[in-house]
Amino acid sequence: MIRPARADDAPAIAQVHVAAWHAALDAHVPALMRDSVDPERYGEMWQSLLGPHAASHTTMVATEDAGAVVGFATAGRQTASIPGFDCELHTLYVAPRFQRRNIGCRLFHDLATKMREDGCGSMAATVIDTPQARGFFRAMGGNLAGSQAIAAPLGAMAGEPAPVMDLFTWHPLKPQQLETKI
């Protein structure tokens, strides 16, 4: 089931976020970035996003039959940092053992539909470049608008990978683009 996130979902979202982030990105980022992604830090972040800052973000969660959070997606109109776009998809993660079950597609569809209902005519997302991310966002109708290597974080070790960020766009955000293609 896909539903709007509640404040009491913060710990579960943080657990999914950390597990899915590490599964997807550990091989693509420097150790310093990997080490900064931990449940305690992300738990605090999600408490804030679902509490005091909830008005600036729309967060949807996917739950299994027993009600446990197994995925989430967040977007915001007021927080769009990419010029020329009404809103920004900030995060979309599914717990590793629940991937490849169409949960990410449903989360994307429901969140994009909600953003469109809220007046969002275009959307952008920046994501760390991985084959899985590129495949997913292209399947969701996203246009790969560009890629750029980001500077390695301070303290990164020589020879570690420099992450590449991809920019995906949906402009205009059309109903047919919201159809899942996987």
Total domains in the fold of the chain: 1
pLDDT digits over 77-124, tens only?
866 567 889 999 999 999 999 998 999 999 999 999 999 999 999 999
Residue ranges making up the domain that contains 12: 2-178
Quickly list H helices, the chain: 10-25, 31-36, 39-50, 103-117, 131-139
**Residue 121 corresponds to which tokens in the numbers above?**
């005519």
The Cα-based distances of 168 to 4, 5, 48, 67, 132 in angstroms read 24, 24, 26, 31, 14
Q: What is the CATH number of the domain that holds 19?
A: 3.40.630.30
Q: Are 29 and 62 in contact (CB under 8 A)?
A: no
DSSP 154: T
The model carries a pTM of: 0.88
DSSP letter assigned to residue 136: H
- How far apart (Å, rounded) are the C-alpha atoms in residues 88 and 174? 15
Interval 129-174: pLDDT, tens: 889 999 999 999 999 999 988 775 555 556 666 788 899 999 988 7
Residue with tokens 């913060």: 10
Q: Is the pLDDT of residue 53 over 70?
A: yes
Residue 110 neighbours by CB under 8 Å, 6+ apart: 2, 60, 73
